[in-house]
Every structure is written in structure tokens, then in C-alpha cells.
Amino acid sequence: MRYRWKILCVSLIAIGFLPSAPAQQYEDAEAAYVAGDYETALRLVTPLAESGDRMAQCNLGIMYFHGEGVSQDYRKAFGWFQKAADQGYAPAQLFLGQMHAQGLGVRKDYEEAANWFLRAAELGYADAQSQLGDLCRKGLGVPQDYEQANRWYRAAAEQGDVEAQFNLGVSYIKGSGVAQDAAEAATWFRKSAEQGFVEAQCQLGQMYHSGTGVQQDDSEAARWFALAAQQDHAESQYWLGLLHYFGDGVPQDFTEAANWFRIAAMQGYAAAQLNLGIAHYKGEGVPLSLVEAYRWYSLAATYADKEGDSALRDRALSYRAATARKMTESEIAEAKRLVRAWRPDTE
């Protein structure tokens, strides 16, 4: 489960609560923070926090969490979040929940995380509602309950939370806690995708490609895949490569297909690595090279195994074995050397 950390600048507007301290001091602190002058921001925020201002306490906790103007200290961050949370400050309650869930500065405890998420969620804080939905869906710290998860996702989604919108779409496409409804899933994926959420953009692209919940339209599929691909989303890069390879919704172009396969492959995406190996084996869009084909088949098998995709792994190994029968010993040795030397772009 991924937990999101939002850096909250010391701002009158960012959280939506009015501070009790002089506005000018907050404005000066915000200006310093945005400029990267964390020491000045810290100097201005600390006395406000010590005087009991909950917003300042939360922001001071964030600075300790990230090590901004101070040495990173999760325990001190936790302490300041606790002070603000005890005053009913929803962002601090959210951060306490996240720290309990991750075991940062405190023992990992999903039940306590759920407790803090619930407090913030009941105050209408969308991010907390979304993350409480995650816990309900997974059964972490609370009984597993898809219907309850969807209630929290919907509450957050209706406030524009992109991950909640995406997760609500997933619930509708799978029929988890709701009646299965592909059209409704597409509606929520679109809301999330239009805000730039890459997973939703990729999912919406797949739905347009297959005609699930929407009218089949490969041009529209290509548009959504391209938007996500430009954000370095490997699965979307792979799909965009497939569309170019087959000429679905875009002109058929083996070179462009191989380019997208390579970009995704360099991130360790196994299916793209396999297709790049095939491209080198056939010489489609890239130079024909058995050495390169062997290398990418090997990497595809390794990464498919990491992803738990035994079918893809076995296919890659089969292709590699067939390729090896056409290679000399020196070519195989060079291919193996390239495999050992390879590192993904994500590292």
C-alpha cells in the first residue's frame, strides 16, 4: 500500500484553516519556506508552534519529518503532529495515521493508523478518507469491508481526490462492494485521469482499446496512453508501443513501437523487455541482433519472475533458448555480459 506525503507549506490558504497568530508572520514564514530558506521559516514557525498554534505545530512537524532547516527526526515530527492532532487539526491527524502505518518514529500499528485516519475523515479531510478506504479494502487495522471502503472512497472522490476516484473506479470494474458497472468505472477513471493521475489514464486507455464501458476508440486509447507515458508510466509506454506496432489508432510504425518498448523496458517492465527482444530478433524498428534479443529475453524472464508472472517468464525463457541455438558461444557470452551490466533507469 502506498501512503502519500503532502508537503504543506506554512500558508494561510494551503490547509484552509485560519491561524490564530499574526498573519504577517505566517506570510513571512511561507515566503522563506517556498524560497528554500528553511532556517528562517523554522525561526518564524517555532515560536508559533510553542505558543500552541496547531497549524504551526503541524508545519513544524513536517519540517522535522523532511529534515528542512533541522536534522531529520521522525520522533520530533511525531510529537508536533500529536500536539496539533490533539487540537482537532485534520492534516496533523492524517500525518499521525501515516506515521503509524509506516512505523516512522513509532511502532507500526495499522489499528492506530485507522483511528487517526478516521478522526480526520470525519472532519471531511479527503486525503484521510481515501487512505481510510485503503485500510478498509485491505483489512488493515479494521475488518475488511469493501462497502465501507467504497463509502470512504466516494466521500473523498466527490471532493476531487484523484486516488479515491481511481480506487472507486477499480471497485466498479471488479464489482468489489458495488454492483459491477464498467460505464461507472470509466466515469471515475476519467475524473481521475483528467487530473493527471497516470494509473487512471492507463486504465482509461485500456478501456478505450477494448471498448469496455466506453465506445471502442483506439485513437482515444492512444491519447490517454500518451499522456501517462509522458509521465514515465512504464505500462502506458508499453501499451503505446503496442498501438504503434499494430497500427491501432496511430500509424503503424515499428521504429516508434520499439522506441516505446525500450523506454518501458529500461524501467524494468518485463512485457516491454520481451517485445524489445522480439523486435531485435526480427529486426523490426531496430537493428537485427541476436545478442540484443538474448539480452532482453533474459531480462524479461528475470523481471517477470519478480512480478510473479510465470507465463511471461516461461515465454521469455523459451524465446531465449530458441535464440541461443542460432548464436555462437562468443555471442552468448557477450549477451550474458550485457545482462550483468544492465541497470534499470529507475535505480
Q: Domain for residue 156, yes or no?
A: no
Please write the tens of the pLDDT for every residue from 118-158: 999 999 999 999 999 999 999 999 999 999 999 999 999 99
Q: Is residue 21 part of a domain?
A: no
Which tens digit of pLDDT belongs to each residue from 226-245?
999 999 999 999 999 999 99
- The answer as to whether 180 is a domain residue is no
Would you say residue 333 lies in a domain?
yes
Which is nearest to 44 in space by CA: 7, 31, 16, 15?
Answer: 31
The crossing angle, in degrees rounded to 10, of helices 110-122 and 90-102 is: 160
157 within a domain of the structure (yes/no): no
Confidence of residue 14 (pLDDT cuts 50, 70, 90): very low
- What is the residue range of 263's domain? 253-347
Rounded to an integer, the average pLDDT of 287-312 is 97
Is 306 a domain residue? Answer: yes
Domain assignment present for residue 275? The answer is yes
What is the predicted pLDDT for the residue at 26? 81
**pLDDT > 70? residue 270:** yes
Domain count, the chain: 1
